[in-house]
Structures are given as C-alpha cells and as structure tokens.
Chain A
Amino acid sequence: MNIVVLVKYVPDATADRQFEDDFTVDRVNVDGLLSELDEYAVEQSLQIKEKREGEEITVTALTVGPEAAEAAVRKALQMGADKGVHVVDDAIAGSDAIATSLVLAKAIEKLGAETKVDLVVGGLASTDAGMSVVPAMLAERLGLPQVTLASVVETQGDQVRIKRDGDVATEVIGGTLPLVLSVTDQSGEARYPSFKGIMAAKKKPLETWSLADLGVDASQVGLGAAYTAVEETAARPPRTAGEIVTDEDGSGAKALAEFLASKKFI
C-alpha cells in the first residue's frame, strides 16, 4: 500500500507574519515550519501503517515550496515517514491553490507511475492561507473520491471509514481506496520525533523534483498564473484595550451590566 501525506511549510503563526510588495505571503523573512495541522496527517498516515502490520506500506511525505520547505519533509521523515519528495522550482512562487493542486496532482501521478498511490492524506487546513480546499481540488484533478475532516479514521482492506463532526450531525463516512483523506486536529495528538527517528531520518531518501520533472510548464504556475488577484492588504489596526475593572464584592458584575446596557445589548 502506498500512502502519500501532504505537508506544507508555513510561516510560524506565532511570528510576525506579513506580505511582500506583490501581496504574496512572505515565506523568506519569517521563520517557517511544518504546518501544525499537517502533523496530524502525518500521524494518521503512520498509524494506518502501524495498524496494518504485516502489509508492505510506504508513507511518502510530499511538499511543494521553496528551498526551506525541505524542513517540513524532514520533520515528517523524523516522525516516521519512509521517504520524502520536495517539489521546488522558482516558477512556483506565488502559486494559488489551483496551481498548487496541479503540481501536487502531477507529483502524485509521477509517484503512482512507480507504485499505485492508494491513499492521499492531508490536514484540516494550512495555518497560513487556510482555505481548506487543496484536498478537494486534488481529488477532482485525480478523479478520486474524498473523505475529509476526519476525527477518527479506520481502514480495513480497501475500505475507509471516518467519523466527522459536521455542523448539524456527527457522520460516519465510507469510501473505497484509492481516495483522498483529510484529518482534523481532533484525530489524535501527533507524535514527537524520537532521537532514533531523527537519526534514522538522515538516511531516508528525499528526492527533489522540478516542474520539468513533472511535465508542468512554468506558465501554469506562480503568481502570473493565479486565478485571483489581491488588490490590497492592510494590517488590521490593533485593538486598543478598553476599560478593565477589578471585581470587588460584586462591583465587577455591576460595571459589566452597565457597559452592556450602554451598548444596548440589554
């Protein structure tokens, strides 16, 4: 069985994230790391492999991104993925979700040319753009079904069952491999790389592919090929702290009730 897990290198959410002059996300001057939400995808991929003991299963971590994005693949290898693929090409900078899904689809097709890809696993969203659309776009491009936003994942043979907490109901969703799966942060704490895992990762294969390797033309990706254009970005003015009172014998409740009344909430 061949599992491909999608990992994204993102600016650290606790750092001062910003935009470049062309309105693309600054991915160079801000510390980056493997998107926290993709760690859950790596974890579930590894758990599927561990639960299906005795089967030959390969977990491949795949990323598309600048040079530094290799760190995201490295982290996945340290956690336990078997091999890594990093698609890097100057032309990719500024790509939107549509172009990113194209590059991912071509990379998965290339991986599948060697051994059929049975399962593609992604996270809930990236922690930068956060659109949550790449798994669905990828499924559409690959002609695969999608079972997404799983909080529990079970597989048996070629059957996949997930549980997801929808807005109006908790659902069990079933699908047949091959398919695209995405998991949420409710699916189970992601493991930390062990010392052994970190050492082992240094010997694991990590391939670097260019657009030419995938047969994608540079004109199909990047900012110039984007289907949307940003016209302006503005830092939201920081909220200024308002009045803070300390409660003493009920004074806090009284003051809060007066505030709510002054704003016509009561």
Chain B
Amino acid sequence: MAEVLVLIDHVGGQVKKPTYELLTLAAKLGEPSAVYIGGADGAAGAAEAVKGYGAEKVYVIDDAQIKGYLVAPKAEALAQVAGAASPAAILLPSSAENKEVAARLAIKLDSGLITDAVDLDESGVATQSVFAGNYTVKGKVTKGTPIITVKPNSAAPVEKAGAAAVTPFEVTISDAAKTAQIVASQPRKASGRPELTEAAIVVSGGRGTGGDFSAVEGLADALGAAVGASRAAVDSGWMPHTFQVGQTGKTVSPQLYVANGISGAIQHRAGMQTSKTIVAVNKDEEAPIFELVDFGVVGDLHTVLPAVTEAVKAAKA
C-alpha cells in the first residue's frame, strides 16, 4: 500500500490534535507516514505521539538550518520526501502557513491542490464548505500527487497502534528558499483556554458586549470553551484579531457555538455557520443571527450570561 504523508502540526515536539485527525483520514487512502519538521530534541516525543494514531513511518527532518525561515524551505523539504516516498497523497493541517507550503509544493510537484477540506473519503474525494458556508463542494485532485489541506475538527481521531519507524531524512535546502526570515517573535500569552479552531465549544462576543468581555469569558470558562469575537469587536480594539471569527478571521465548526451580542452579518456567518448547534443571545430580536440558531434568547447578555454561567457551574459541581 502506498504511503500517505501527513505533516505533523506541533509546537516544540508537542503534537497537536489536528495531526491525529489527519492520520485517521490518511489511513483511508493508504499507509500513514508522519513527517516531522522541527528540532531534533522534539522528534522522539512526536514520534511516540503519532505512533498511537497509526503512523507506520515517521520522517524526521531536523530544522536546525531552516528554523526561522518561512514557507519555502518546508515546501522544498516536503518535495524531497515526496520524491523519495512517491506517496499516494500529502495531507497538511490547514493553517495560514501550511496552505502556502502546500501552494509552493503543488507548483514544485506539478500536482493539484485542495485547501480547507472538511472531509476526505477512501477514493480521495474531499469535501469543502464554500461561499460563506452556503454551499458544499466535493472534488478530487486529478493530476499529480494530491495535496490536501484539512481543517481542524474534520474527523474524529481513531487510536490505532502504528510501527512509527523513525526515518531520519536529510534535506538540501536552497539559499533562495532562505530569504524571508522571522526577525522577531512575540509568543502569544497562553490563555489556558482551548484553541479557537480546535475547540468543541466556542463562546463569542460582539458589539453588544460594549467592550466588556467578562460575561463571555465567564461562560466560556464554565463550559471549557474557547473565546471568539466578531469583526466589530476586533475593529473596536476590544479583542485581538486572532480571536476573530469570520471570513477574514478564523472559520470554526464546533459542536456548540454561542454568539452573544453579535448581529450575524455575512462576514461573521462565513466563519461559524457550519457549527453543529448554534445559540445566540441578543437584545435585538430582529438580529439576523436568530435566523441561524437552534436556540435564541432575546435579552441582555450582561444579565443572561452570568446566570447561565452559574447554572453551568451548579450542574458541574
């Protein structure tokens, strides 16, 4: 069976959940091989982690010589692994950087690319959600090695023992690829909350918060949820852009989405309307968000949310 390459999403060797989802999808298409690009000291931990999700092989690429350079070196590295492994497909977690890596890789390998897949079947047909979530499109790559970036929460990770045979892989990176460089990096302060795109529950706030997100954050923490924001809240400077849900922010598809003080403009809907269950709290009964909800409360979020938060805490106590 042909190998299917899965690029490991990790921070310092700590493997993130979307990697397991991709390994699960990769097993439908062939034999999953994980590709680790990172520091040598994190490789063993990453290999151990992917072993539990069916990775038969782990290509380890030491990033000592390419660390701090953007996109191009990773694309060169993956192209060289693909050259050696002749994979049936290459899967990458859909992030801003990985989509660009995939884009360069597609040109290098003269292969088709599908981005932001939300599902993948045995025959390689990928499902995408397009036009602000109003359409579902199914398609497949018809030329070269299929390169597919997959969104978080697209599959339930299935635990399965793999051999996870560690294969150190030497790459040759051109000088041309080492021209755009990270000159400074300010790591984001850890919030202790789940990551927005990976969370099972997202609690968001908009203009209706008036800039006070404490009620939104209180409910999020009681539910173990991530916090999101509408563009209006971000543009007002109340929340950083990384919290923005919508067309120009993050697209989320959680089990539960709670929109508070958010009118529901198309910009926002594009980022959340594929959520399984949608709840809204808004003072304005005419707010378009109410057209989407499974349950809505017309009321002031500053009084409704704290009361719900208490109820959640009481139920969990």
A interface vs B, CB < 8 Å? 13-14, 17, 19, 23, 37, 96-98, 101, 124-125, 127-137, 139-141, 143, 145-149, 151, 161, 165-176, 179, 184-186, 226-236, 239, 241-247, 250, 252-257, 259-261, 263, 265-266
- Nearest B residue to A249 via CB reads B303
Residues of B within 8 A of A171 (CB): 182, 184-186
Whole-angstrom distance from the CB of A175 to the nearest CB of chain B?
A: 4
Decide: A174 near B113, CB < 8 A? Known: A131-B99, A140-B104, A257-B308.
Answer: no
- Within 8 Å CB of A244, what residues of B? 285, 290, 293, 295-298
**B134: A residues at CB distance < 8 A:** 17, 235-236
Asked if B75 lies at the interface with its beta carbon under 8 angstroms from chain A, I say yes
Find chain A residues with CB under 8 A from B186 CB. 169-171
Q: B138 is contacted by which of A131, A148, A173, A230 (Cβ under 8 Å)?
A: A230
CA distance A265 to B294 in the complex (A): 14
8 other A-B residue contacts (CB within 8 Å) besides A130-B116, A253-B311 = A19-B135, A135-B100, A165-B240, A228-B141, A242-B296, A243-B294, A252-B297, A260-B312
Residue of A with least CB distance to B200? A265
Q: A127-B247, A146-B100, A227-B106 are in contact. Are A266 and B130 (CB under 8 A)?
A: no
Q: Which residues of B contact A148 (CB under 8 A)?
A: 70-71, 96, 100
Q: Classify chain B: how many residues form its interface, as a range.
A: 35 or more
Interchain CA distance A136-B104 in the complex, whole Å:
6
Contact segment of B34-42, B163-171, B271-279:
B271-279
- On whether the beta carbons of A233 and B113 are closer than 8 Å, the reply is no
- Contacts A226-B142, A233-B137, A241-B292: A247 and B115 contacting too (C-beta < 8 A)? no
A233–B179 touching, CB < 8 Å: no
B181, closest chain A residue (CB): A174
Contact across chains for A256 and B281 when beta carbons are under 8 A apart: yes
A240 CA / B311 CA spacing, docked (Å) = 27
Q: A37-B248, A97-B113, A147-B70 are in contact. Are A170 and B185 (CB under 8 A)?
A: yes
CB pair A98–B72 under 8 Å, yes or no, is: no
Q: How far is the CA of A107 from the CA of B135 in the complex (A)?
A: 33
B281 CB to closest chain A CB (Å) equals 7
In the complex, are the beta carbons of B185 and A140 less than 8 A apart? no
Question: Are B71 and A136 in contact (CB-based, < 8 A)?
Answer: yes
The reply to whether A228 and B115 contact each other, CB–CB distance below 8 Å, is no
Within 267-317 of B, Cβ neighbours of A (below 8 Å) are at: 273-274, 277-279, 281, 285, 290-300, 303-305, 307-308, 311-312, 315-316
| With contact pairs A228-B139, A231-B140 given, residues A137 and B297 touching in the complex (Cβ less than 8 Å) | no
Q: Is B242 an interface residue (CB 8 A)?
A: yes
Task: Report Cα–Cα, A101/B129, bound state, in Å.
Answer: 23
Q: Are A133 and B113 in contact (CB under 8 A)?
A: yes
Distance of A143 Cα from B111 Cα, bound (Å):
18
Q: A175-B181, A184-B248, A266-B223 are in contact. Are A227 and B139 (CB under 8 A)?
A: no
Contact partners of A125 in chain B: CB under 8 A: 248
User: Considering the chains assembled together, what is the distance between the CA atoms of A46 and B134 in angstroms?
Assistant: 35
Q: Which residues of B contact A168 (CB under 8 A)?
A: 11, 187-188
Which residue, of A124, A167, A176, has the highest number of chain B Cβ atoms within 10 A? A167
Q: How far is the CB of B89 from chain A (nearest CB, A)?
A: 13
Alpha-carbon distance between A246 and B104 when the two chains are bound, in angstroms: 52
Closest to B190 in A: A168
Q: Contacting B311 at CB < 8 Å: which of A96, A132, A231, A257?
A: A257
| Contact A263–B256 (Cβ < 8 Å) | yes
Q: What are 18 residue pairs bridging A and B, where the CB atoms are less than 8 Å apart in the complex? A: A17-B134, A132-B96, A133-B106, A133-B113, A165-B241, A171-B186, A179-B180, A228-B113, A230-B137, A230-B139, A231-B139, A232-B138, A239-B291, A241-B292, A243-B295, A244-B290, A245-B297, A256-B295
What is the bound-complex CA distance between A168 and B16, given in angstroms? 12
A236/B135 contact (C-beta < 8 A), A97-B113, A170-B188, A228-B140 known: yes
Contact of A227 with B142 in the complex, beta carbons under 8 Å: yes
A50 CB to nearest B CB, Å: 24
CB of A253 within 8 A of CB of B308, answer: yes
